[in-house]
């Protein structure tokens, strides 16, 4: 499918650019910046992820994230779904981390300025040999979790960005905003299970189809389920109606 090929090429390019973009995803630099009253590039990205999730759900995860591309490569080696309980681990990390950022801004007397290029060398993250240590640590952690806990385990258990988008996409659904959504026609489904096997987030897509609930906060809108369905049951499209509404 052309759409899936395009998606994989975008993910690959994003992965190759990871040494350049690393600091824009940094959970550490946003804290460091906050204690100086500075909103770092990573802070800007996290806010953008929340805001874009209101209209595009978690499409960032499905299409643009370098860690998503890396985990896709790992799923070629270990493709078991991670245990469901592991998904709570990220919130245990996220809540105190967010608290540290807020404490930083309070200590600094509020937001003083925004610096998108904060702690980069003319916008490039890994510009000195020492920076490669951080880069290989992050890449190693993502690979290790994926190969031990299962498919997209880093997304489910450790990602500090995921909660921003989970909150954004859940708000999108509750407020019924016009947005990118999955929609399905359950009458056409032959229960072949191809969509379940295809889903990178290990969702039970066929169950979502049969109940007519085409929303899940873990869905990254990759359209893999839509593109593999032999009956064209699922579609990804911009829609005003809630994904809970059947056609
Ligand atoms: S959950 Fe995190 S690591 Fe996974 S694709 Fe989304 S932003 Fe990337
Ligand atoms: S439900 Fe479909 S669009 Fe969502 S993550 Fe799974 S395969 Fe991708
Ligand atoms: S791939 Fe299509 S036909 Fe098969 S179970 Fe999923 S929605 Fe139904």
Per residue in 128-164, pLDDT (tens digit) is 888 899 999 999 999 999 999 999 999 999 999 999 9
- Please write the tens of the pLDDT for every residue from 99-108: 999 999 999 9
> Which ligand does the CA of 27 lie closest to?
1
DSSP string, the chain: -HHHHHHHHHHHHHHHTHHHHGGGG-HHHHHHHHTTTEEEHHHHHHHHHHHHHHHHTTHIIIII-HHHHHHHHHHTT--PPPPGGGGGHHHHHHHHHHHHHHHHHHHTTS--EEETTTTSBTTBS--SHHHHHHHHHHHHHHHHHHHHH-TTHHHHHT-SSHHHHHHHHHHHHHHT-SEEEEEE-GGG-----HHHHH-TT---HHHHHHHT----TT-----HHHHH-TT--EEEEEESS-TTS--
Q: Tell me which of 152, 201, 211 to substitute to probe ligand 2's pocket, judged by most ligand atoms within 8 Å of the beta carbon.
A: 201
Q: How confident is the model at residue 243 (pLDDT cuts 50, 70, 90)?
A: very low
Give me the pLDDT at residue 131, please.
84
Q: Which residues of 47-85 are buried (b: 16+ CB within 10 A; e: fewer)?
A: eebbebbbebbbbbbbbbbbbbbbbbebbeeeeebbeee
Position 245 pLDDT exceeds 90: no
pLDDT (tens digit per residue) in 200-224: 999 999 999 999 999 999 999 999 9
Under a CB-based contact definition with an 8 Å cutoff, are residues 90 and 157 in contact?
A: yes
Q: Which of 162, 145, 155 is nearest to 77 (CA)?
A: 145
User: Which domains are delineated in the chain?
Assistant: 2-168 (no CATH), 178-239 (3.30.70.20)
What's the token pair of residue 202?
């290990």
Task: Select from 72, 162, 222 the residue to mutate for testing ligand 1; criterion: most ligand atoms less than 8 Å from CB.
Answer: 162
Structure tokens at 92: 């245990």
The whole-angstrom separation of Cα 10 and Cα 24 is 18
pLDDT digits (tens, 9 = 90+) for 6-33: 999 999 999 999 999 999 999 999 999 9
Residue 149 bridge partners (DSSP): none
Task: Look at residue 1 in the predicted model and tell me its pLDDT.
Answer: 80
Is 34 near ligand 3, meaning CB less than 6 Å away? no
Token pair recorded at residue 40: 């770092």
pLDDT of residue 246: 45
Looking at the DSSP bridge assignments, the partners of residue 237 are 181
- Both tokens assigned to 200: 């990178």
Percent of the chain exceeding pLDDT 70 equals 97
pLDDT exceeds 80 at position 240:
no
pLDDT the model gives residue 129: 85
| CB-ligand 1 contact for 138 (6 Å cutoff) | no
How far does the centroid of ligand 1 lie from the alpha carbon of residue 76, in Å? 18
């Amino acid at each position: 499918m052309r759409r899936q090929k395009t998606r994989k090429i975008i993910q690959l390019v994003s992965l190759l650019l990871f040494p350049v973009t690393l600091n824009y995803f940094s959970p550490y630099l946003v804290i460091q910046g906050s204690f100086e009253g500075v909103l770092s590039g990573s802070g800007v990205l996290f806010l953008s992820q929340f805001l874009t999730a209101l209209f595009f759900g978690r499409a960032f995860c499905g299409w643009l994230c370098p860690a998503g591309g890396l985990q896709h490569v790992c799923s070629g080696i270990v493709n078991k779904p991670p245990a469901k309980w592991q998904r709570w681990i990220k919130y245990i990390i996220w809540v105190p981390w967010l608290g540290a950022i807020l404490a930083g801004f309070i200590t600094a007397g509020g937001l003083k300025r925004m610096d998108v290029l904060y702690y980069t060398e003319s916008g490039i993250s890994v510009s000195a040999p020492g920076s490669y240590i951080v880069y290989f640590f992050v890449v190693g952690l993502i690979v290790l979790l994926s190969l031990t806990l299962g498919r997209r385990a880093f997304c489910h258990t450790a990602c500090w960005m995921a909660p921003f988008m989970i909150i954004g996409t859940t708000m999108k659904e509750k407020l019924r905003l016009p947005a990118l959504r999955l929609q399905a026609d359950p009458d056409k489904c032959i229960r072949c299970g191809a969509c379940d096997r295809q889903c990178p987030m290990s969702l039970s897509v066929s169950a979502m189809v049969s109940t007519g609930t085409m929303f899940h906060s873990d869905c990254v809108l990759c359209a893999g389920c839509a593109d593999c369905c032999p009956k064209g049951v699922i579609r990804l499209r911009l829609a005003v109606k809630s994904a809970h509404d059947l056609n």
